[in-house]
Amino acid sequence: MALYEYSAFDAHGKKQRGVVEALSQKAASHKLRGQGLFPTGLTAAGNTAGATQRTLFRRVSAAQLGIATRQLATMLAAGMPLDEALVMVAEQQTQGSLGSVLTRVRDDILQGSALYAALQAHPNVFPPLYTNMVQVGEASGTLDKVLHQLADFTEEQARFNSQFKAALTYPLLMFLVGSGVLLFLMTFVVPKITRMLEDLEQALPLPTLLLMSFSHFLAGYWWLLVILGIGLFWLIRRISLTSAGRLWLDQRKYRFPLFGSLALENATARFSRTIATLLHSGVPLLTALEIVQNLLGNTYLQQALEGVREKVIEGAGLSEPLFDARVFPAMLAQMVAVGERSGELEGMLFKVAEIYEHQVQTRLNSMMALLEPLMILLMGTIVGFIVLAILLPIFQASQGLG
């Protein structure tokens, strides 16, 4: 039987993508129709370079990878052969490129490749943490258990990141909409009203003069603000392309008021959970440090962890180099020291991750609860100032007529 990549519409008109196993292309089409799908494209998996290139550009989310990993772990635990399990999991993927990638992984395994080596051929889907844990699971004969741990880790990270982004979405959207409304008022509405006020030929109050000056500036020099914004973006981009500039920007990211400490706690939680998961799966500490160093995506933290790793190579424990680095919160090093003395380093790191994840979520919720009314108050103050500046000369004119 062969595997075919398909694109199809379901009974509700929604487009679906995935792979299906069948004896021929015609049989694959009949199988899809039997599942309530109406194929619009059907290609033998891996047979065309065009299909390969197209699937590489479709995103695989962490949540989707976590679900697929759990399905694979469950099938392996039930005694199903690896190649058959991969086919069944691939057929369940109706979105993104994961189904096609799993099909190619299965083909590599049938040709004699180990699972971890087949996964390493797709680094855009399977990060080093994933492939290293799979390698340990294959070597120790506990692949199903390791895959369950990977599923737990991936789903937990996806859930935490989703909550983090969701908490920031509302205030960011509110800021953008409010700024757009104010910009529209100041550049289109206010200038027409102020021209009417100028026709009154009377001394205007200070709030009205300030509003008119600011409105005239925006109307006449908005292009200058656009140029300054683009120039600032270009400058930051240029700085970030140099190693020294990137290090400086990454360091300042954790010193930014309010959100800097929150970002550092988030990085600490991610570091702790990743290291704990790798150690629990049997990955050596030095390898785990190298993997997490590349996963953090911050030059400042990567440089600090490189120093930690070098001291561990020289024979030091993990807690002392972490404390000497003075990058992560001191509690991390203290908890690691307790874990090393008790022989429960993995469990202690899991607890640290839970503490900081809960702390980040609590602080974020508190900040957002405070930020929302502050933004409403700020927008109300600005709108109130505009209304006051417009109404004051009108009141003065009516009193003069009286």
Domain holding 97: CATH number?
1.20.81
Distance CA 302, CA 341 (A): 26
| pLDDT in 10s for each residue of the chain, 402 residues | 566 677 777 777 777 767 766 666 677 777 777 777 777 777 765 443 344 444 444 567 888 888 889 999 999 988 889 888 888 888 887 666 788 888 888 888 888 888 988 998 888 888 888 888 888 888 878 888 888 888 888 888 788 778 777 777 777 888 888 888 887 877 777 777 777 777 766 777 888 888 888 887 877 787 888 899 899 999 888 888 888 888 888 888 888 877 788 888 888 988 998 888 888 888 888 888 888 887 777 888 888 999 999 999 988 889 999 998 888 988 999 999 999 999 889 899 999 999 998 888 888 888 777 877 888 888 888 888 888 888 888 787 776 555
Tell which of 99, 126, 153 closes a domain. 126
In a domain, 331, yes or no: yes
The pair phi, psi for residue 111, each rounded to 5°, is -90, 5
In-domain check, residue 148: no
Q: Specify which residues 17 forms β-bridges with.
A: 7
Whether 138 maps to a domain, the answer reads no
Identify the pLDDT of residue 200. 66
323 domain residue, yes or no: yes
Q: Count up the domains in the chain and report the number.
A: 2
Domain stop point among 89, 104, 126: 126
Owning domain of residue 290: 259-360
- Whether the CA torsion 183, 184, 190, 195 is positive or negative: it is positive
**Domain boundary pick from 95, 126, 157:** 126
H-only helix segments in 282-344: 285-295, 299-313, 319-325, 330-342
In a domain, 28, yes or no: yes
Which residue do the tokens 């003395």 mark? 341
Instruction: Write down the pLDDT at residue 401.
Output: 53
Rounded-to-integer distance, Cα 297 and Cα 311, Å: 21
Tell whether 288 is covered by a domain.
yes
Indicate yes or no: pTM above 0.85: no
Question: Following DSSP, what letter does each residue of 337-370 receive, concatenated?
Answer: HHHHHHT-HHHHHHHHHHHHHHHHHHHHHHHHHH
- Alpha helix (H) residue ranges in 141-284: 143-184, 190-198, 206-241, 243-253, 259-280
In the prediction, which pLDDT does 40 show? Answer: 73
Q: What is the CATH number of the domain that holds 325?
A: 1.20.81.30
CA 235 to CA 12: how far, in whole Å?
48
In a domain, 142, yes or no: no
Tokens linked to 366: 């508190």
Among 287, 306, 312, 313, smallest CA distance to 129 is for 287
Establish if 143 belongs to a structural domain.
Answer: no
